């Protein structure tokens, strides 16, 4: 039997990650541990494109890992672990990663082939861990003395239409009393208004 035939039989002719029946292909989970189907998964083009291309990742698509990470197939578990690691900015992905148990040998396989992207996106989070985006409104959680401006920003002050400092996850910018200032993210919480 060929690897493709073994994979089709094992997967029921579905993507082993997202269960799609779209055109499927064998995908080697590098570094291959052994020859045969155990080192491969059967996946669709959507999953393959997102695994191979960081820019193409759609976090919503990968919520399917909540099912596929429990697969009895080790290669599927390895890919699930790798994708959850790449999606750690998503709270649901961190939760799934904490639940996923891999024995030491499987975890070493997963880590050995994990793709590391050098251009990590800077993620800004408030004091509660909520994701901040440009244009959000935040509220100060304590009084802050603004250096060089001679003013104290009071706790509870809303800062609207914030902008993110691109190279520092701990800094945002916003206007308080008409003055543009830099604020540490640990002193703000995201407002739902």
Q: What does the pLDDT look like over 65-115, one tens digit per residue? A: 999 999 999 999 999 999 999 998 899 999 999 999 999 999 989 888 776
pLDDT under 70: residue ranges of the chain: 1, 32-35, 115-120, 193
Q: pTM score, two decimals? A: 0.59
CA distance 129 to 189: 9
Burial 157-190 (b: 16+ CB within 10 A, else e): bebeebebbeeebeebebebeeeebebebebbbb
The whole-number pLDDT of residue 165 equals 87
The whole-number pLDDT of residue 192 equals 81
The whole-number pLDDT of residue 178 equals 84
Token reading at 190:
């995201």
The whole-number pLDDT of residue 116 equals 54
């Amino acid at each position: 039997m060929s690897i493709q035939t073994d994979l089709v039989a094992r997967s029921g002719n579905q993507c082993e990650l997202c269960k799609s029946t779209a055109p499927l292909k064998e995908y080697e989970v590098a570094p291959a541990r052994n020859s045969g189907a155990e080192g491969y998964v059967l996946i669709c083009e959507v999953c393959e494109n997102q695994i191979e291309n960081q820019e193409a990742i759609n976090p919503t698509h990968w919520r399917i890992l909540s099912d596929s990470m429990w697969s009895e197939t080790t290669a599927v578990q390895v890919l699930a672990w790798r994708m959850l690691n790449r999606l750690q900015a998503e709270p649901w992905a961190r939760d799934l990663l904490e639940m996923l148990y891999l024995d030491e040998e499987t975890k070493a396989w997963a880590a050995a082939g994990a793709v590391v992207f050098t251009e990590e996106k800077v993620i800004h989070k408030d004091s509660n861990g909520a994701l901040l985006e440009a244009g959000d409104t935040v509220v100060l959680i304590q009084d802050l003395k603004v250096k060089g401006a001679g003013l104290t920003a009071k706790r509870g002050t809303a800062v609207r239409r914030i902008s993110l400092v691109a190279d520092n996850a701990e800094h945002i910018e916003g206007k308080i009393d008409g003055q543009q200032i830099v604020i540490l993210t640990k002193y703000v919480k995201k407002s739902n208004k």
